[in-house]
C-alpha cells in the first residue's frame, strides 16, 4: 500500500453542463483534505479547477497550483491557495506537476485534461514513472473513452497491460483507495520487436 502525500488532479477550466461535475470536484477536494493529501493542480480559479481547489482549502487542506505565466490572464490564477507556482511554459508546468505528485486523477474536462491524462499514461507505459493514474468517472463521463481505449487493445495498437495502468471509480474515497493499493506493472516492452 503506497502512501499518497500529494495527488495531481487534471480537470476542466470550465464546469461543464451537469451540476454533478461540480459536486464531484468538490467531493474530491474534501476527500483529499480529510485524508491529509495535498492537491497539485493547474492553478486556475475557474471551472472545476477552482471548485476542487476551493473545496480543499475550505476543508483545511493544502493546495499547490502550477500555472504558466502567459496563461494567468486567461485561466485566472487562484490567489487564495496555499502556493501558486509559475512556470515559463506549458511543458514546464506539466513536468513540475508530474514531479510533485504521487498519483494522478482526471476529472471531467476537455482537451487539456485529456492531454495531461494521456501524457501521464504514456510516461507510465514507457517506464518514466510508476505512479498510479485514475479517473473519477462522474456519471459515466469517461465510459466512451474507456471503451475506445479497449478498442485500441482489440485492434492491436495498445497492450492490455498498458490500459490496465488506468483505474476508474465513481467515488472519490474508493478511487483514492484503489490508487493507494495500485502497483502499476512495468510492461516488458511497449513495442513488439520487428520480425524479419
CA distance 158 to 178: 23
Dump pLDDT digits (tens) for 93-135.
999 999 999 999 999 999 999 999 999 999 998 988 899 999 9
Give the residue among 128, 123, 196, 109 at the shortest CA–CA distance from 166.
123
Give the residue among 128, 126, 125, 146 at the shortest CA–CA distance from 136.
146
Q: What is the pTM (predicted TM-score) of this model?
A: 0.90
Alpha-carbon distance values, 149 to 108, 121, 134, 196 (Å): 17, 12, 14, 29
Dump pLDDT digits (tens) for 161-180.
999 999 999 999 999 999 99
Identify the CATH class of 6-181: alpha beta
Dump pLDDT digits (tens) for 53-102.
999 999 999 999 999 887 655 557 788 899 999 999 889 999 999 999 99
Amino acid at each position: 500500500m503506497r502512501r499518497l502525500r500529494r495527488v495531481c488532479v487534471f480537470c476542466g477550466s470550465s464546469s461543464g453542463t451537469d451540476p454533478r461535475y461540480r459536486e464531484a470536484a468538490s467531493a474530491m477536494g474534501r476527500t483529499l483534505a480529510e485524508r491529509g493529501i495535498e492537491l497539485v493542480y493547474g492553478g486556475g480559479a475557474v471551472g472545476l479547477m477552482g471548485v476542487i481547489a476551493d473545496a480543499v482549502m475550505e476543508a483545511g487542506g493544502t493546495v499547490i497550483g502550477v500555472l504558466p505565466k502567459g496563461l494567468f490572464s486567461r485561466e485566472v490564477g487562484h490567489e487564495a491557495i496555499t502556493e501558486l507556482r509559475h512556470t515559463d511554459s506549458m511543458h514546464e508546468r506539466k513536468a513540475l506537476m508530474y514531479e510533485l505528485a504521487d498519483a494522478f486523477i482526471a476529472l471531467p474536462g476537455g482537451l487539456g485534461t485529456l492531454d495531461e491524462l494521456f501524457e501521464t499514461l504514456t510516461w507510465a507505459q514507457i517506464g518514466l514513472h510508476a505512479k498510479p493514474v485514475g479517473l473519477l468517472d462522474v456519471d459515466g463521463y469517461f465510459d466512451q473513452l474507456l471503451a475506445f481505449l479497449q478498442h485500441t487493445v482489440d485492434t492491436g495498437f495498445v497492450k492490455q497491460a498498458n490500459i490496465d495502468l488506468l483505474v476508474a471509480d465513481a467515488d472519490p474515497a474508493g478511487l483514492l483507495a484503489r490508487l493507494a493499493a495500485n502497483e502499476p506493472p512495468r510492461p516488458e516492452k511497449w513495442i513488439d520487436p520487428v520480425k524479419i
